[in-house]
Structure 1
Amino acid sequence: MNNKIPTGYKKTEIGIIPEDWEVKRLGEVSKIVGRIGFRGYTKKDIVKPWRGAISLSPINIVDGKLNLKSNLTFVSWNKYEESPEIKIKTGDIIFVKTGSTLGKVAIIEKVVFPTTINPQLVIIKVFKRTNNKFINFYLNSFTFKNLLNKVLDGQAIPTLSQYQLSNLLLPLPPLPEQKDIAKVLSDIDNLIESLDKLIEKKKLIKKGAMQELLTGKKRLQGFKGKWVKMKLGEVFDIKRGASPRPIEKYITKKSNGINWIKISDVKPEDKYLVKTEIKITQEGAKQSVVVNYNDLILSNSMSYGRPYISKIKGCIHDGWLLLKRKGKQNIEFFYYLLSSYKVQKSFDLLAAGSGVNNLKIDSVKELSIYIPPTLEEQQAIAKILSDMDAEIEALKKKKEKYEQIKKGAMELLLTGKVRLKTINNGEGKNNDIEGETRKLLWNKKIRL
């Protein structure tokens, strides 16, 4: 094993870091404050929304960001004023110190309303001589998470005291490099956020297009004629799935096994079913209902009313309905039609009358729908919506790519394995942080 320390680096208690970096305790670069025990609060301190201050909890930290769109708790103004040391300020970092979500971290970009914390959180107030964004990125890194796991090993209920947190070690570059690293990672964050907004915008555009195109309110150029009212059972042969019992007897790992389609094999936003987790035997398949390539299936129990186009051959249990086309129909069009707001509301009404929310096959067969008078119009509508889906999917993949890039960049930049100092000019100023970071990360096989 090669234990040689690279030139310009040194060995420390937390590993090999650049020579001009320091090892500091978190408590040396910040003040950590939490809610004092006797100032905790009970149900009587909880007030109606906006009648008091926001009290942050772990649920308000989502993917390393503060989320105030939902799940807000409010405490009385008296309870808020009782603990001035934990009033949230811009630039603070909140950290979950106990429970199953211990280690969740977020920086406060802006205080929009008087805010405090609940007893599960602490506030890390970073001193001015240290960059708070750098600290936030480091606390969100895998390197730090691994350190936490070692400290918490064996605890039934994960808990980290403020003393333990303040004594955790971290690598700290000179302040200018902290700022440069935070700038690069913030730029990637901003790109991811802009992609998120663009994805949501495209989804809204698609939603509007569905409401117009799938109801006949807007007709595509070249098409005319009144849409036809039909029952779903007139367009499709509809059959409930079936399960061989006991199912465990028929599960197999053999190569000739038949795909066993479960709700968990697809996500709510999926359009296609492309694979299954398990397979059943040929004998089991004889006691079930076979789904062929390009068949439409519809969930009819629990998460009812979700349509999918199968891109594999398999079998379905009684939590699914199989919809087989009776004539020449465009399957993609019907996927979108069954996904539309109007049809989904109809499914809600059909399921509401039962003790357990599910769709009865006879009710589904009787469901009235309106469809274009020609196959060509179905195909044209489906193509427009499919193109929109493809654009959204491409943006999601691009976002996922940059999320992976960010993870890789964090592990390299926050530990000093990749230096931004190497691109500083003689005056200590940075000419092109982003461009040079691309080169450095490329050398590490991570594309930016």
Structure 2
Amino acid sequence: MDIPQGYKQTELGIIPEDWEVKSFSQVFDMYPNNTYPRDCMNDSYGAIRNIHYGDILIKYPTIVDVERCSIPYLNEDVKIKAQKFVQSGDVIIADTAEDETVGKCVEIKNAINAKIVSGLHTFFCHPIRIFAIGWWGYYLNSSNYHNQLLPYITGIKVSSISRASIQETKLLVPPIAEQKAIAEALGDIDGLIATLDKKIAKKHLIKQGAMQQLLTGKKRLPGFSDPWVERKLGEIGVWVKGQSLSKNDITPNGKNICIHYGELFSYGEVITSPISRTNSQPITISLGNEILFPDSDVTPDGLGRCSALLMKDVIIGSGVNILRHNPLYDTSFVSYSINANRSKIIDRVTGTTVKHINSKELSEVVIEIPKNKDEQIAIATMLNDMDKEIDDLEAQRDKYRLLKSGMMQKLLTGQIRLKIK
């Protein structure tokens, strides 16, 4: 293999000549953590804050800015043992997860005046010398590093990794000026992603408020004054069951468009373009303007929602209750209305380990509908416009996430070098 000028071959691959390869133990001291469970914490008050592994896995960003990030407090009655407080630049690693996300970490920033401890199922890692803030947070969360952890992960239902295994891993260490430049570049794109996340969350709240007003008749759109009526779902259409269709029947080159039961949980209120395909014989196909409900799930909440399918000739798989409604009702409106009344469906769910809902129970669910179909369409159009705006923001955010992933792959291995000011 040809090695480019200015690069060298190492056990971690080809890297810049002025980068180093260090063992984890050469870079970090590992301090004791505590083992306090979630019920020893609160979000309101206390003298000491606690970083719990669950928050590392699902809540915190890569760089936890103590001045901006909400970190729970230990309850005042918790008698903490002698434990070092976390400092800026320290790394806290989750040693347990339900999947291969074990090993995810956060780096701490702006912890000068804070009392923070490393909590349950974490490794508390303190760098032996000074590094640029952000470098280790991004590097240790990269796929390049995490791939080293995979052979060491143990467990079936719960995955974990040992302290000794972490210490055996190898780390790339660029010059500190380059660490700083890389961390700043990745931090900038994280800032863009965070801004979009806030916009998306705000748009969801606006939509939720609009649904509460528009789908109950509390707020009427201009030009409409006709009364609303209550209708049971069984009164507005007939029920059909989907045909036998397993995941094995789905193929990228299939000649027929289809919807598999499991996909319903990822669709929104309106399905405009299903993407799965199958070669299965079309038995139950959509006639256009139908409402689809999953008939089973492990949680009742998953059964409290539906999706409107506007397309014709789509094969509908098993595990789906299909409502083919009267033309007097707008499909999108009915879907939005049902999803705004999810509790009425959840109340009718049966089962223990696996939850179920059948068409008989769904038929008894009551929703409010404007008599004037034009009003139904106007309300659905407004809500659909809000959904499109959210979809556009989410697509933009996903592009930034993809860009960040590519940047991490190149920058954190030295394949692309940044100009240092």
Q: TM-score range by the shorter chain?
A: 0.7 to 0.9
Match of 1:142 in 2: 143
- Quickly say closer, same or farther: Cα 1:368–1:143, change in 2 above 3 A: closer
User: Does residue 229 of structure 2 align to residue 228 of structure 1?
Assistant: yes
Q: Supply the AA of the counterpart residue of 2:203.
A: K
- Quickly say closer, same or farther: Cα 1:416–1:46, change in 2 above 3 A: same
- Encode CA deviations 1:49-74: one digit per residue, 9 max, x unaligned: 47976654432223683699899986
For residue 251 of structure 1, report the CA deviation from its aligned partner.
6.2
For residue 330 of structure 1, report the CA deviation from its aligned partner.
1.7
Asked if the contact 1:21–1:174 (Cα under 8 Å) also holds between the matched residues in 2, the reply is yes
SS at match of 1:224: coil
Asked if the contact 1:64–1:105 (Cα under 8 Å) also holds between the matched residues in 2, the reply is no
**Of Structure 1 and Structure 2, which has the larger fraction of its residues in helix?**
1
SS at match of 2:86: coil
Match of 1:108 in 2: 108
For residue 206 of structure 1, report the CA deviation from its aligned partner.
0.5
Task: Give me the whole-angstrom Cα distance separating, in 2, the residues matched to 1:243 and 1:29.
Answer: 58
Match of 1:308 in 2: 307
Asked if the contact 2:350–2:357 (Cα under 8 Å) also holds between the matched residues in 1, the reply is no
Task: Give me the whole-angstrom Cα distance separating, in 2, the residues matched to 1:147 and 1:361.
Answer: 50
Task: Give me the whole-angstrom Cα distance separating, in 2, the residues matched to 1:346 and 1:158.
Answer: 37
For residue 237 of structure 1, report the CA deviation from its aligned partner.
1.9
Q: Supply the AA of the counterpart residue of 1:410.
A: M
For residue 270 of structure 1, report the CA deviation from its aligned partner.
5.9
Q: Supply the AA of the counterpart residue of 2:106.
A: A
| Stretch moving more, 257-266 or 224-233 | 257-266
Aligned with residue 293 of structure 2, among 295, 298, 314:
298
Task: Give me the whole-angstrom Cα distance separating, in 1, the residues matched to 2:50 and 2:416.
Answer: 39
Task: Give me the whole-angstrom Cα distance separating, in 2, the residues matched to 1:71 and 1:347.
Answer: 35
Q: Supply the AA of the counterpart residue of 1:60.
A: D
TM-score by length of 2: 0.80
Asked if the contact 1:259–1:315 (Cα under 8 Å) also holds between the matched residues in 2, the reply is yes
Match of 1:395 in 2: 393
RMSD: 3.8
Q: Supply the AA of the counterpart residue of 2:303.
A: Y
Matches within 5 A, 1:315-354: 315-317=316-318, 319-340=319-340, 343-351=341-349
For residue 21 of structure 1, report the CA deviation from its aligned partner.
2.1
- Quickly say closer, same or farther: Cα 1:268–1:98, change in 2 above 3 A: same
Q: Supply the AA of the counterpart residue of 2:124.
A: I
Q: Supply the AA of the counterpart residue of 1:274.
A: P
For residue 28 of structure 1, report the CA deviation from its aligned partner.
3.0
- Quickly say closer, same or farther: Cα 1:410–1:263, change in 2 above 3 A: closer
Asked if the contact 2:154–2:161 (Cα under 8 Å) also holds between the matched residues in 1, the reply is no
Task: Give me the whole-angstrom Cα distance separating, in 2, the residues matched to 1:208 and 1:321.
Answer: 28
- Quickly say closer, same or farther: Cα 1:280–1:187, change in 2 above 3 A: same
Which structure has the larger Rg?
1
Match of 2:169 in 1: 168
Match of 1:88 in 2: 86
For residue 133 of structure 1, report the CA deviation from its aligned partner.
1.0
Q: Kindly, what percent of the aligned residue pairs are identical? A: 29
User: Does residue 372 of structure 2 align to residue 374 of structure 1?
Assistant: yes
Match of 2:54 in 1: 59
Asked if the contact 1:54–1:75 (Cα under 8 Å) also holds between the matched residues in 2, the reply is no
Aligned pair count?
Answer: 400
Q: Where does structure 1 lack aligned partners over 5 or more consecutive residues?
A: 425-429, 431-448
Task: Give me the whole-angstrom Cα distance separating, in 2, the residues matched to 1:192 and 1:147.
Answer: 27
Q: Where does structure 2 lack aligned partners over 5 or more consecutive residues?
A: none
Task: Give me the whole-angstrom Cα distance separating, in 1, the residues matched to 2:234 and 2:162.
Answer: 62
Task: Give me the whole-angstrom Cα distance separating, in 2, the residues matched to 1:122 and 1:218.
Answer: 53
Match of 1:433 in 2: none
Task: Give me the whole-angstrom Cα distance separating, in 2, the residues matched to 1:64 and 1:280.
Answer: 42
- Quickly say closer, same or farther: Cα 1:17–1:256, change in 2 above 3 A: closer
Asked if the contact 2:56–2:94 (Cα under 8 Å) also holds between the matched residues in 1, the reply is no
Task: Give me the whole-angstrom Cα distance separating, in 2, the residues matched to 1:301 and 1:74.
Answer: 40
Task: Give me the whole-angstrom Cα distance separating, in 1, the residues matched to 2:315 and 2:266.
Answer: 18
For residue 161 of structure 1, report the CA deviation from its aligned partner.
4.6
- Encode CA deviations 1:25-51: one digit per residue, 9 max, x unaligned: 33333322234xxxx7588x9747479
Match of 2:241 in 1: 241
Task: Give me the whole-angstrom Cα distance separating, in 2, the residues matched to 1:203 and 1:105.
Answer: 29
SS at match of 1:31: strand
Asked if the contact 1:56–1:73 (Cα under 8 Å) also holds between the matched residues in 2, the reply is no
SS at match of 2:213: helix
